[in-house]
A and B are shown apart, each in its own frame.
Chain A
Amino acid sequence: MADDLVIRQLTDPAELDVVAPLWKALQAHHVSLGSIDLPARDPEDSWRVRRGIYEHGLAEGAWLWVAERAGEPVGYAFVSRAGEWASWQAGPLVGLETLVVAPGERGAGIGERLLQTAKDGARSEGYTHLQVGYIEGNVRAAAFYERAGFTPVERVLGMAL
């Protein structure tokens, strides 16, 4: 089933809108978790802001890997060159900022293939660590990353002012 899957690197910001539906599906999923008590952004506006982050990231050497079947995007990974910790020597590290698979394509190993591609790309440029965050309560994400060898390092806490 995943055999006809092609993963390619998207480098031209003019092409970014091909992943907009996948981002919107992920945003809806994040909101549906209900674990963060903040008002949700409108989906179109959410993509506008996210697109700006990707465009800026691509200009700074970030990677965007798109999984396609018959030319249709079914998942993508966005990986940024993150900073280093000031207290420890560990690093340099990349941040897996987004990893999404289309709802109808989950469970077929596309996420694993995107993650492996992201790791290979980062490793080829000397990045020895990979970091990812997931929203509290996202049990599928938790299971996926633990299976993939990730261990907890930090928690992000927040409050409305």
Chain B
Amino acid sequence: MADFTIARLDPAEVDRAEPLWNALREHHELTLPELGPARSREESWGMRRSRYAEWLTEPSAFALIATTSDGRDVGYCVVTDLGAETTFANDRVGCLETIAVHPDARRLGVGSALLTEARRQAAHEGLPELTITVFSGNASALGFYAHHGFVEYLKVLRAPNPAG
């Protein structure tokens, strides 16, 4: 169980990520209820799937999947290219859009291994930096990324804009 390998996920096989996305969506729903009612499984994966399909057509974008020696998919991540920054000089910016680990496979180092491999492959693709957006309330994720050397670039805020 603790043995796993990481490989590129062929965009044609992106549905292998569905159960892992579902688990992440449920984790979001449980840990961040302040963000409002959750979408259904089907709707949520449908939206995510179509974004992945669009992002993975970019030449330097890629997805990775972690699979145990007995053939179970236990984690995945998706890296996209956001294009040129305007304030800073980088012409390409890697973005870790999702990194998900199955709840049954937590604390085995799957997330760290995915992140390390994503950094290596993003650098190999010529991406000069890697960014990730984390929910402000997700203290464990913030700690995880700080441990891996990420620093805070931006804060993102939201305001309601109700009709009437």
Residues of A near any B CB (own CB < 8 A): 27, 30-31, 35-42, 45-46, 49-50, 53, 83-90, 93-94, 119, 122-123, 126-136, 142, 145-146, 148-161
Contacts and interface: CB of A to CB of B under 8 A. Distances in A.
Contacts of B25: 86-87
Most buried by B among A31, A42, A160: A160
Given A38-B85, A123-B161, A154-B156, 11 more contacts: A39-B90, A41-B87, A46-B87, A123-B162, A130-B160, A135-B154, A149-B160, A151-B158, A155-B142, A156-B154, A157-B133
Contacts of A53: 86
B84 interface: yes
A89 to B, nearest CB: 5
A88 B35 contact: yes
A155 B133 contact: yes
- 5 smallest CB-CB distances across A and B, nearest first, come from A150-B157, A157-B150, A154-B156, A156-B154, A38-B88
A89 B39 CA distance: 5
Given A39-B89, A41-B88, A153 B161 contact: no
Nearest to B40: A89
A148 B158 CA distance: 10
Contacts of A89: 36-39
24 contacts: A35-B153, A38-B89, A46-B86, A86-B39, A87-B24, A87-B38, A87-B44, A89-B37, A94-B161, A119-B159, A123-B162, A129-B161, A132-B156, A134-B154, A150-B157, A151-B159, A152-B156, A154-B134, A154-B155, A156-B132, A156-B153, A157-B132, A159-B129, A160-B128
B111 interface: no
B152 to A, nearest CB: 5
A30 B161 CA distance: 27
A159 B149 CA distance: 7
Contacts of B67: none
Interface of B: 24-25, 28-29, 35-39, 44-45, 47-48, 51, 84-90, 94, 119, 122-123, 127-136, 142, 145-146, 148-163
Contacts of B88: 36, 38-41
